A and B are shown apart, each in its own frame.
Chain A
Amino acid sequence: MFRSHVMICSGTGCKSTGSEKVIDTFKKAVEAQGLSNEVNVVQTGCLGLCSVGPVAIIYPEGSCYCNLTEENVPLIVEEHLLKGRIVTDLLYKEAEEAEEILKLEETNFYKKQRRVALRNCGRIDPEKIDEYIAFDGYMALGKVLTEMKSDEVIQLVLDSGLRGRGGAGFPTGLKWRFAAVNDADQKYVCCNADEGDPGAFMDRSVLEGDPHVILEAMAIAGYAIGATKGYIYVRAEYPLAIRRLEIAIEQAREYGLLGSNIFDTGFDFDIDLKLGSGAFVCGEETALLTSIEGNRGEPRPRPPFPALKGLWEKPTILNNVETFANIPQIILNGPEWFSSMGTEKSKGTKVFALGGKVNNIGLVEIPMGTTLREIVEEIGGGIPNGKKFKAAQTGGPSGGCIPAEHFDVNIDFDNLIAIGSMMGSGGLIVMDEDNCMVDIAKFFLGFTVDESCGKCSPCRIGTRRLYELLEKITSGNGELEDLDKIQELAEHIKTNSLCALGQTAPNPVLSTLRYFREEYEAHIVEKRCPSGVCKDLLNYTIDPDLCKKCSLCAKNCPSECISGVVGKEPYVIDQSKCIKCGACQESCKFGAVIKK
């Protein structure tokens, strides 16, 4: 038995700030102090506090240390682990109350969260199957195989009200039932781990922090629909997730939890990994299946739906990572437990990757129905630098912007659609007054133009034309009738595209146009970008009264268009040569460079 556990986050966010070195130093320091039998150093999955990484939590005290470096480690080991004195200087502090030190669970960031899909992230070592088993891992699979009929499993999932977490929100149990009723010599269970929305990293955190939950849930799904083979399609951009899945599959096979005759019940199920190669459209279900088959990942028309003809023309179910992560808990705690959380039509919790202009960037899991205000102001700790909230973007390139007027909307599948956005996979990017909504719409559309697979023309050509209209506006050449053209073209793309990529691609444009029309009009009529983002509509000037004649701006100017005399004449920008990079404004210490 260990008297202390040091849980250090080794998710991608913390890894990129050096958590591997911190883990290593901790292990060595604990050994050097002769504490190896008393203190357990564990590398865990994502704790959610990505902006203050590397993060470590020491139990039983629950002290949360953040922004760690190798140099901090000896002090923590000596003071906290050896002498029992918490090193308060290094603890996580909430932005507003820097004086008060709280346990992680008591912080604003955590206290409204309810961790179901992320329950093991940060609690277990994802590379050790025994730790997963210690927290009831594979118990749900055991229960299903030994006590339940496959139809009962499906009914239970249906009763829980679980809806797909990948974006569309289709009832999971229904999907399973469709596949279960189709007879075939072979069926497949696939997991969509091709998390492509820029700014979303929920699924990655589950895969990295708790890979076994996915394997267990897929095996349960396999039993429910009568499949013996599963594939996890994971993005190649997630090397750590891939490695942890490989380890997990290996261990599960060793323990007889994957393979043949699982739990001695005669049920066979095995899982293989398939890697993506960087194509956003492969997140669409038919495109993903085509890609697993080794082809260009182009979508196919539906029907036939995958439940009838999916992978290699066999009945197939495809669920998202987060959807699967809920399954074992639903089996163990019952459908009533799950449906007690959330709203009338959206049960359970949802994981959001909170990013952008918000203080606490990271991963949060909240009951459905939490308001946007609670997420941004309480959990997210508000907007940095005293700026004003402008909009939150959900659903990535398929979603839309939620403006301040809907700050109190209860977030669930149906409410988000009603206000012109969508849940999507769970990226939630906060934007402040410095973000231009026309530019954001153009950014997302640029993404879909790049990622359109080219198979159908409404998407391939339509999104390109739509992008050009936006470019015309941001470059100062827009006309008011362009807004009508945008509206019309967007509706055509939505109704005529083959797959969800095209059908949802105009959403960012339509929602910004709906809520921020005046910003579009400012670009067109006044030739002005109110947020100061669109370069063609900007001018940098130097206020001669504020200029201290220090020459720093001129030194930093890449196009050498700033002239003046050190100490004598204020500096002036030659507008004809200015490339509007903003380097002068960034370098000026006196705020003399003005952008407008």
Chain B
Amino acid sequence: MKTIQTVPFTGTKEQEQQLLAWLDDHADEDGIALQSLQMTQQIYGYIPKEAMITIATVTGIPLSELYGITTFYSQFRLFPIGEYKISVCLGTACYVKGTQAVLDKLISTLGVEEGETTPDGKFSLETCRCIGACGLAPVITINDDVYGRLTANEVERILANY
């Protein structure tokens, strides 16, 4: 099995307080497991095991159930991501216009596979299903910047901006 390099947990007291405050506010609501994880990711940028334990302790939802929910939804991350998140749209409109070549080029240029982060922590490479900018296909986003009508040749030039 492939192992993924992890970094040590660096959560702060403030982050923990923020999570606890949210849990306290929503203590009497039904079905907050998913929402509490969404909040955790908003606070930490990913879902650390430590935060999951906090949620389990406060709410009584079993840790196994929280882990099950986390791994079910593709937006949740169990590991921190790089400074720049590259998302390659693999929606149909982008696919028929050749987004695979762009992805291949990113993989070879960055030296990481889909779902991984470069060792210097700078870029994470992810794929997504349709961001809805089909008029610009093929599209990638780097954090909030959108690059459209791409060809593989432009990849290096774009990465040089970061």
A and B, one complex? yes
A residues contacting B by CB (< 8 A) are 12-13, 16-17, 50-53, 196-201, 204, 236-238, 274-280, 291-298, 312, 353, 355-357, 361-362, 393, 396, 427, 429, 431, 435, 440, 443-444, 447, 453, 556, 558, 581-583, 586-587
- Highest count of chain A CB atoms <10 Å: which of B30, B73, B76, B96: B96
Neighbouring A residues of B146 by C-beta, 8 Å: 16-17
Contact across chains for B93 and A429 when beta carbons are under 8 A apart: yes
Neighbouring A residues of B105 by C-beta, 8 Å: 558, 581, 583
Closest to A362 in B: B135
Check A201/B92 contact, CB under 8 A, given A295-B31, A312-B30, A355-B137: no
Neighbouring A residues of B54 by C-beta, 8 Å: none
Contact across chains for B92 and A558 when beta carbons are under 8 A apart: no
Neighbouring A residues of B91 by C-beta, 8 Å: 198-199
Min CB distance, B43 to chain A, in Å? Answer: 15
Q: Is residue B57 contacting chain A, with contact meaning CB distance below 8 A?
A: no
Q: A201, A292, A583, A586: which contacts B132 (Cβ < 8 A)?
A: A201
Contact across chains for A361 and B72 when beta carbons are under 8 A apart: no
Neighbouring B residues of A51 by C-beta, 8 Å: 135-136
11 sample A-B contacts, Cβ–Cβ < 8 Å, listed by A number: A13-B135, A17-B146, A237-B75, A237-B131, A294-B34, A356-B93, A356-B96, A356-B97, A558-B105, A581-B104, A583-B152
Contact across chains for A277 and B101 when beta carbons are under 8 A apart: no
Contact across chains for A236 and B95 when beta carbons are under 8 A apart: no
- B83-108, CB under 8 A of A: which get 1 and which 0? 00000001111011100010011001
Closest to B135 in A: A50
Contact across chains for A293 and B134 when beta carbons are under 8 A apart: no
Q: B38, B90, B148, B151: which contacts A198 (Cβ < 8 A)?
A: B90
Q: B31, B73, B93, B108: which contacts A293 (Cβ < 8 A)?
A: B31
Contact across chains for A297 and B72 when beta carbons are under 8 A apart: yes
Closest to B132 in A: A201
Chain B, interface residues (CB within 8 Å), range: 35 or more
Min CB distance, A418 to chain B, in Å? Answer: 23
Contact across chains for B92 and A356 when beta carbons are under 8 A apart: yes
Q: A196, A294, A556: which contacts B31 (Cβ < 8 A)?
A: A294
Q: Is residue B56 contacting chain A, with contact meaning CB distance below 8 A?
A: no
Closest to B104 in A: A581
Contact across chains for A12 and B129 when beta carbons are under 8 A apart: no
Check A355/B92 contact, CB under 8 A, given A12-B133, A581-B101: yes
How many angstroms from the CA of A278 to the CA of B73 in the assembled complex?
Answer: 5
Q: Is residue B35 contacting chain A, with contact meaning CB distance below 8 A?
A: yes
Neighbouring A residues of B95 by C-beta, 8 Å: 198, 443
How many angstroms from the CA of A443 to the CA of B127 in the assembled complex?
Answer: 14
How many angstroms from the CA of A277 to the CA of B66 in the assembled complex?
Answer: 14
Check A279/B96 contact, CB under 8 A, given A13-B132, A201-B130, A237-B131: no
Q: B30, B32, B96: which contacts A431 (Cβ < 8 A)?
A: B96
Closest to A444 in B: B92
Min CB distance, B128 to chain A, in Å? Answer: 7
Check A355/B93 contact, CB under 8 A, given A293-B31, A296-B69, A586-B151: yes
Contact across chains for B135 and A277 when beta carbons are under 8 A apart: no
Check A296/B130 contact, CB under 8 A, given A17-B136, A586-B153: no
Contact across chains for B38 and A237 when beta carbons are under 8 A apart: no
Neighbouring B residues of A275 by C-beta, 8 Å: 35, 38
Neighbouring B residues of A556 by C-beta, 8 Å: 153
Min CB distance, B148 to chain A, in Å? Answer: 7
Contact across chains for B135 and A199 when beta carbons are under 8 A apart: no
How many angstroms from the CA of A16 to the CA of B97 in the assembled complex?
Answer: 18
How many angstroms from the CA of A294 to the CA of B69 in the assembled complex?
Answer: 9
Closest to A580 in B: B104
Contact across chains for B152 and A581 when beta carbons are under 8 A apart: yes
- B58-94, CB under 8 A of A: which get 1 and which 0? 0000000000110011111000000000000011110
Neighbouring B residues of A293 by C-beta, 8 Å: 30-31
Q: A277, A298, A312, A353: which contacts B134 (Cβ < 8 A)?
A: A353
Nearest 3 interchain pairs by C-beta = A294-B31, A50-B135, A277-B73
Neighbouring B residues of A583 by C-beta, 8 Å: 105, 152-153
Q: A13, A353, A396: which contacts B136 (Cβ < 8 A)?
A: A13
Min CB distance, B106 to chain A, in Å? Answer: 12
Q: Is residue B53 contacting chain A, with contact meaning CB distance below 8 A?
A: no
Q: A12, A279, A431: which contacts B131 (Cβ < 8 A)?
A: A12
Closest to B87 in A: A237
Check A50/B34 contact, CB under 8 A, given A16-B148, A357-B96, A587-B153: no
Q: Is residue B33 contacting chain A, with contact meaning CB distance below 8 A?
A: yes
Neighbouring A residues of B152 by C-beta, 8 Å: 581-583, 586
How many angstroms from the CA of A587 to the CA of B151 in the assembled complex?
Answer: 11
